[in-house]
Structure 1
Amino acid sequence: MSIRLPPLEALRYFEAAARHLSFTLAADELCVSQSAVSQKVIKLEDRLGYKLFERHSRQLVLTEQGATLFPVIHASLIEIRDSLNKIESNGQMRKLTVYCMPSFASSWLLPRLHDFHTRYPHIDLNLVAELAEPNFHNEIVDIGICHGIGDQPTMEQQLLFWDYVYPVASPALLEQCPLTTLQELNTTVLIHDSLPQAKLSTSWQRWLVERGIRNIDCGSGYRFNQADFIVRAAIDGRGVALGRHVLVAHEVQQGRLIPLFGDVEKDDGVYVVCLKKLIHRPQVETFMHWLKEQAHTFESEMAIDKIVFPKEVAEIRS
């Protein structure tokens, strides 16, 4: 007649105590009290009907039955642990969590993700698009696409491309109100970022002051708290916006937005970032390689001098 197997937890406590020959050291390893280990082993002995240890004042000694049972339990727990780790590792190899700003996600990344899923269907990509950057150190996010995160020794940063800022308006608005000089901005509506200090934001006031223009009314116009809303309003002819190249390049290429005044301002770089300890994970390496391919294609097809202004007339301010 076969006996019912004892609870796995009881076997864990016995294995730790037998390996250390100490209830105290086993308790430290299991993060419980010494009495908890002792009581769990006593209950296991009662269930089995024989002693597993001879208890001396300062030493534990395995009984004959305990010595027979220990190597079997020890090997079995290792096999169980290794199997669980393998399953977990295989699951992690499929999962990849990527962070970026919502406007970058909708305007730049999402249109390209179909290519990634087609080429790497074995990777389950989870996109986190939020205004606030995550804490990469909690490892909830594997990779971030950011406009720089500063000098952090635990982080790997690789430049994808430089971003630029320049004024844009729709062809329909320019038909009604041709704009050839900065002073003529007083004759139209400005579209503002309502969070001018946030990343990926723009500021008409700062942009004009840097160009020595102080008589333009920056207090009126439309205000939006997300860059893709600003781009949409500009396309719809609601006013003139300060566009980020990474967000408006496709609209400029398609003719839905027209750059103005021959003035381009070089801004922050766009970086792919991750913890250095994660960089050699296969799915992380795969996504970073794919992302750099996409960035190279973007720079080749939508370079400033190709779709915004000819080199000879563009003024690019660093």
Structure 2
Amino acid sequence: MPDDKKVKGYRRLIPSMTALLEFEAVARLSSFTLAAQELGVTQAAVSKQIKYLEETLGTRLFHRLHRAIQLTGEGYVLYSVVSESMQRMASVFDKITEGITEQKMVLASTSAFSQLRILPQLSTLRLQQPELQLRLITQQLTPDLRGDDIDLAVRFGNGRWDDGTAIHLFDEEVFPVCSPGWLASHCAPASPEDFLHVELIDSDTTLEGWMTWNSWFKELGTSRPKLKYSLRCSAYTDTIQAALQGHGIALGWGRLLEPMLASGQLVRLTSLVVRPRDAYYVVVPNGRTPTPLMLSLIDWLRGDAPT
């Protein structure tokens, strides 16, 4: 049963949903006339609702300019909340009318995490959740929770973000990797000094915190300013593709490369390893409560789900 006090409280604080609907249309279209046309009412009716809303709140929501209107500071704050709420409600209506249940999930991650860890293991998820409709949203940098009605986002960092609740997935290890073919025709480096004389494939550093060879050696406590690079890539996925094709040695992020290391496509070269202070997390957007399906997907991402 709903809480009667809470219901009455909402009615007191939000006296007119009609006024909010018409306010959203006016703010989005920057026009009373266009809002009235969209809503199928008269301009006078729209103006009356906006005036009622302003009187109720005790503040102006629009600056009335010559042949134009503009949101006030208070109007912008209200529009930001109302617009997001309307989008969420519209999304729920669409899901219900289309018969879509909670089996639909939107997961955001970097392209590297998606291509190297999610997609190679997607068949196991299909076996565990055959009815799941998964939508992957990939971005080059840290996934943004704004827009696209994202349910979960995978991020690498310290776990402290303002736009959601972080759930730890796993820590990371970074170590040199190469293809079996490259290793068969070259001597494997055994010490930091040996890396001065081999072909290295480097990645550009990004906001996500990818290490370069120089920063990796720095973490080991060894400075190597004159390393020999055979290739430098802006995308980490290109770096790994180059290593797979035998063009040299790349830095392997162990958790991302687990499928390739397990299959033997890539080989770990030495016991030298750097363990970053940051880790991988799944972030649940603010205002969302994890559903059983979301928790199941998190277990699968972590590797804890049964196979």
The answer to whether TM tops 0.5 is: yes
- State yes or no: 1:181 paired with 2:191: yes
Aligned partner of 2:222 in structure 1 is 213
Contact 1:168 1:240 in 2 (8 A): yes
Cα distance between partner residues in 2 of 1:243 and 1:27: 56
Aligned partner of 1:170 in structure 2 is 179
Deviation at 1:105, TM superposition (A): 0.9
Cα distance between partner residues in 1 of 2:152 and 2:93: 25
Contact 1:166 1:259 in 2 (8 A): yes
1:255-308 Cα distance to aligned partner (Å, 9 max, x none)? 33222331121122111111142224x4xx31332331452349x99xxxxxxx
Change (3 A) 1:216 1:91: same
Aligned partner of 2:303 in structure 1 is 296
RMSD of aligned residue pairs (Cα, Å): 3.6
Cα distance between partner residues in 1 of 2:108 and 2:297: 15
Deviation at 1:200, TM superposition (A): 5.5
Aligned partner of 2:44 in structure 1 is 36
The amino acid that maps onto 1:214 is: S
Cα distance between partner residues in 2 of 1:239 and 1:269: 27
Cα distance between partner residues in 2 of 1:39 and 1:237: 69
Change (3 A) 1:215 1:294: closer
- State yes or no: 1:157 paired with 2:166: yes
1:165-190 Cα distance to aligned partner (Å, 9 max, x none)? 01112233233321222212222111
Of 86, 93, 101, the residue aligned with 2:102 is 93
SS state at 1:221 partner: strand
Deviation at 1:140, TM superposition (A): 2.6
Deviation at 1:249, TM superposition (A): 2.2
Contact 1:182 1:261 in 2 (8 A): no
Change (3 A) 1:181 1:98: same
Change (3 A) 1:132 1:89: farther
The amino acid that maps onto 1:187 is: H
Cα distance between partner residues in 2 of 1:227 and 1:262: 22
Change (3 A) 1:275 1:253: same
- State yes or no: 1:275 paired with 2:282: no
SS state at 1:93 partner: coil
1:123-159 Cα distance to aligned partner (Å, 9 max, x none)? 3221111113343144632210111364235511111
Query: Structure 1 length as normaliser, TM-score?
Result: 0.61
Contact 1:190 1:222 in 2 (8 A): yes
Deviation at 1:214, TM superposition (A): 3.3
Change (3 A) 1:146 1:258: same
Contact 1:134 1:141 in 2 (8 A): no
- State yes or no: 1:140 paired with 2:152: no
Contact 2:109 2:143 in 1 (8 A): no
Deviation at 1:244, TM superposition (A): 0.2
Of 254, 263, 270, the residue aligned with 1:254 is 263
The number of aligned residues is: 231
Percentage identity across paired residues of the two chains? 20
The amino acid that maps onto 1:275 is: P
- State yes or no: 1:190 paired with 2:197: no
Deviation at 1:191, TM superposition (A): 0.3
Cα distance between partner residues in 2 of 1:294 and 1:140: 20
Cα distance between partner residues in 2 of 1:146 and 1:191: 24
Alignment of 1:70-149 (within 5 A): 87-88=96-97, 90-91=99-100, 93-138=102-147, 140-148=149-157
Contact 1:159 1:269 in 2 (8 A): yes
The amino acid that maps onto 1:248 is: L
